[in-house]
Amino acid sequence: MRTQIYKTTGNRGFFDEQDTYQKLSAIGNPLEKISLVVDFEIFRKSLEQGLLNKDKKNNAGAKPYDVVMMFKILILQRYYGLGDTQIEYQILDRLSFKKFLGLESGDKVPDAMH
DSSP designation for 107: -
Predicted local confidence at residue 57, as pLDDT: 66
Asked if residue 21 lies in contact with residue 99, where contact means CB atoms within 8 angstroms, the answer is yes
Q: How confident is the model at residue 58 (pLDDT cuts 50, 70, 90)?
A: low
* C-alpha span between 106 and 57 (Å, rounded): 31
Query: Is the pLDDT reported for residue 67 higher than 90?
Result: yes
Q: What is the pLDDT of residues 11-49, one digit of tens each?
A: 767 677 778 778 878 888 899 999 999 999 999 999 999
Asked if residue 40 lies in contact with residue 73, where contact means CB atoms within 8 angstroms, the answer is no
Query: Is the pLDDT reported for residue 9 higher than 80?
Result: no
